[in-house]
Amino acid sequence: MPEALPADMALVLNAVLGKDGPVHLALREQSPYLRVRERCTCGCGTAYFDLDTGEVEPAPSGPGTVVAADARIHTKAGDCAGEVLVFAEGGCLSRLEVCSWSDDTEVTLTSAQRSLRPLHHGHLGLAPVPDIRGTTSSQRISRPLDQASVTDGQS
């Protein structure tokens, strides 16, 4: 049975989707209607969603499955340990993937959340993620995040 979207997952999802624009705005508006259908069993934080599509409008992200947003996860030393990917299918949020780029560093939803903490001036510091053509996406989040809502995965 699907479970409600946990607060730490909602925080990471909304932070990664924080860039303004019609696609990200429409996808953020879907988050209150998400339920977690399934989770990865390794503990990484990856989740597959069910969405009450009768309550939301699809985002203008196009047909099929797309990476709607992404952000790198950095260690305390500043090394890139992995990334968070937000997928949409037919304009509807479908999954949040938390993936590691190394077997040496554990990447979880909590480490992703820590990496998304505000840096300077209340803004989130996310590195741009290169796409397959070698260019970089503009997934920097530049809107303030309420620091009181940021925890280390504890509600």
pLDDT string in tens for the chain (155-residue length): 568 889 889 989 988 998 778 999 999 999 999 999 999 888 888 999 999 999 999 999 888 999 999 988 888 888 888 899 999 999 999 999 998 888 887 888 888 887 775 433 333 333 333 333 333 333 333 222 222 222 223 33
Cα distance between residue 8 and residue 53, in whole Å: 23
pTM for the predicted model, two decimal places: 0.71
The pLDDT of residue 1: 59
Domain limits for position 107: 3-118
In a domain, 129, yes or no: no
Tell me, yes or no, whether 144 lies in a domain: no
The gap between the terminal CA atoms of the chain, to the nearest Å, is: 22
Domains contained in the chain, number? 1
Q: Is residue 134 part of a domain?
A: no
The residue among 152, 144, 143, 69 whose CA lies nearest residue 112 is 152
Q: Does residue 8 belong to any structural domain of this protein?
A: yes
Surface-to-core class of residue 30, CB atoms within 10 Å of its CB (0-12 exposed, 13-18 middle, 19+ buried): buried
Please, which residues bridge with residue 82 across strands?
73, 100
